[in-house]
Amino acid sequence: MKQTILFLSIVFIVSCKQNVEEIPKDVIDKEKFIEVLKDKALAEAALNVNVKNVPGEKFDSVYNFSVYKENDITKAQYDSTMKYFSSRPGEFKELMESVLEKLNVEKAKR
């Protein structure tokens, strides 16, 4: 009887161990990713609004910016991070709310 209780206790303890998921090494940390998403949103907005009023064929030369280069990341890191957080809707929602807050702060400065 004691052996059965001991065995069941060990099984219970082992089964209760939290599964801590390790974040892949190519995933950007949350704070930096929030900044990247904010910069990407601002860049896309500038392009869509065409703030410099240039013809479409000159967009690349006039709007010469790289969100990836400015934030010292690669497109592959961005894609991996987007995939990682997209598979976690709760965390992704929090990220996007933070991006919106930062965009509102930028808007208030103008």
Q: Is the pLDDT of residue 65 over 90?
A: no
In-domain check, residue 46: yes
- pLDDT for the residue numbered 4: 59
Range of the domain at 96: 23-109
Which residues, including other chains, have CB under 8 Å from residue 39's CB and lie 6 or more apart? 67, 70, 71
The 10s digit of each residue's pLDDT in 84-108 is 999 999 999 999 999 999 999 988 9
Number of compact structural domains in the chain: 1
CB-CB contact of 85 with 23 (8 Å)? no
CB-CB contact of 71 with 12 (8 Å)? no
Candidates 87, 98, 88; CA nearest to 33 is 98
Which residues, including other chains, have CB under 8 Å from residue 62's CB and lie 6 or more apart? 52, 54
In-domain check, residue 59: yes
